[in-house]
Amino acid sequence: MPMADRKTALITGASFGIGLELARIFAREGYNLVLVARSADKLRQLASELEKAHGTHSLILATDLTEPGASAYVLDQTTRADIQVEVLVNNAGFGQYGMFAENDLEECLRQIQLNVTALTHLTRLYLPAMLERKSGSILNVASTAAFQPGPLMAVYYATKAYVLHFSEAIANELQGTGVTVTCLCPGPTATEFQQRAKIDGIRLTKFGTMDAHTVAEDGYRALMDGKPVAISGFKNWLVAQSVRFAPRRMAAAVARKLQER
Ligand SMILES: NC(=O)c1ccc[n+]([C@@H]2O[C@H](COP(=O)([O-])OP(=O)(O)OC[C@H]3O[C@@H](n4cnc5c(N)ncnc54)[C@H](OP(=O)(O)O)[C@@H]3O)[C@@H](O)[C@H]2O)c1
């Protein structure tokens, strides 16, 4: 595709897992990329792979999105490089396992900073230009954790409920503007996430995991179709729906069982 015709997608958390697979898909579909994560080497490796495979131009922003100035830095860098971000993918996120009262407080707050604050901040920073152009789309990665409370990962589940509700609300506000918002809700997916959250061996993952590429394809398709919410995988969809009919206390009790080893 000629360089002038290429649109740009900005993807947070592009160094591993679902974000990395989304970067590969957007590159395959002819987008240039802004790749954001902390692991500069991984991002450089990915950019080089995608340039060879698809002629993709990538701007690498190796930054920690839990730092208060990070979202503004990302906007500043894309503005300086004269990049018009057509698609914003807020994918970076992590989870913390354990009893809330015993978990490390700093890590708990970083989780909210990344999963909630950075996602909200980047959305707010990139929306005005999209609205002015009457064109753009935002993909926010939540989780099936968004549909019920999650004992033993209380803060993580709550951050994902925020992402789902926030995304659905602004998708509604943005109707008719030319800008769409899609919330992707993956279930357990084989990535670095489990190891980082220290949830290896919990019951939930014993029911099987999806692969990151399939989840990313589901997210890409839903975004292109302008769907407000996409739950990846039929089994995950079924579980998310079943919660609607359960008393809330029962939903929490079942989630607790699934979170235990
Ligand atoms: N895997 C699952 O079972 C699952 C299920 C439902 C939803 N999700 C959600 O899917 C999204 C992607 O997760 P994943 O499964 O692909 O996990 P992953 O393999 O651990 O990837 C997470 C990505 O986020 C980036 N990241 C983490 N902390 C960051 C920070 N402080 N600043 C900037 N980037 C940061 C990581 O890059 P660096 O380490 O290089 O910074 C990495 O690229 C997350 O929002 C997660 O909550 C995952």
Is the shortest distance between the CB of 93 and ligand 1 below 6 Å?
yes
- Mutation to probe ligand 1, out of 71, 108, 192, 194 (largest number of atoms < 8 A from CB): 192
Kindly give the distance from the C-alpha atom of residue 31 to the centroid of ligand 1, in angstroms, as a whole number. 21
pLDDT digits (tens, 9 = 90+) for 88-121: 999 999 999 999 999 999 999 999 999 999 999 9
Query: How would you classify residue 8: left for phi > 0, otherwise alpha for psi between -120 and 50, otherwise beta?
Result: beta
* From 73, 97, 126, 156, the catalytic residue: 156
Given this model, what pLDDT does residue 5 score? 83
pLDDT digits (tens, 9 = 90+) for 172-212: 999 999 999 999 999 999 999 999 999 989 999 888 999 99
pTM flag (> 0.85) = yes
For residue 179, list its beta bridge partners: 136
Taking the C-alpha atoms of residue 49 and residue 42, their distance in angstroms, rounded to an integer, is 11
- Mutation to probe ligand 1, out of 94, 114, 200, 237 (largest number of atoms < 8 A from CB): 94
Residues lower than pLDDT 70 in the chain: 1-4
Please give the angle made by the CA atoms of 174, 175 and 181, to the nearest 5 degrees: 55
Cα dihedral 157, 97, 99, 109, rounded to 10, equals -70
pLDDT averaged over every residue in the chain? 97
Please give the angle made by the CA atoms of 63, 106 and 97, to the nearest 5 degrees: 95
Q: Name the helix (H) or strand (E) containing 146.
A: none
- Identify the three-state secondary structure at position 58: strand
Query: What percent of the chain has a predicted confidence (pLDDT) above 70?
Result: 98
CA-nearest residue, atom 7 of ligand 1:
143
Is 220 in the active site? no
Given this model, what pLDDT does residue 206 score? 87
Is the shortest distance between the CB of 180 and ligand 1 below 6 Å?
no
For residue 58, list its beta bridge partners: 33
Kindly give the distance from the C-alpha atom of residue 29 to the centroid of ligand 1, in angstroms, as a whole number. 22
Strands (DSSP E) contained in the chain are: 8-12, 32-37, 58-62, 85-90, 136-141, 179-185, 189-190, 210-211, 229-231
Given this model, what pLDDT does residue 228 score? 98
Given this model, what pLDDT does residue 4 score? 67
From edge to edge, which strands make up the β-sheet containing 136-141? 58-62, 32-37, 8-12, 85-90, 136-141, 179-185, 229-231
Kindly give the distance from the C-alpha atom of residue 255 to the centroid of ligand 1, in angstroms, as a whole number. 21
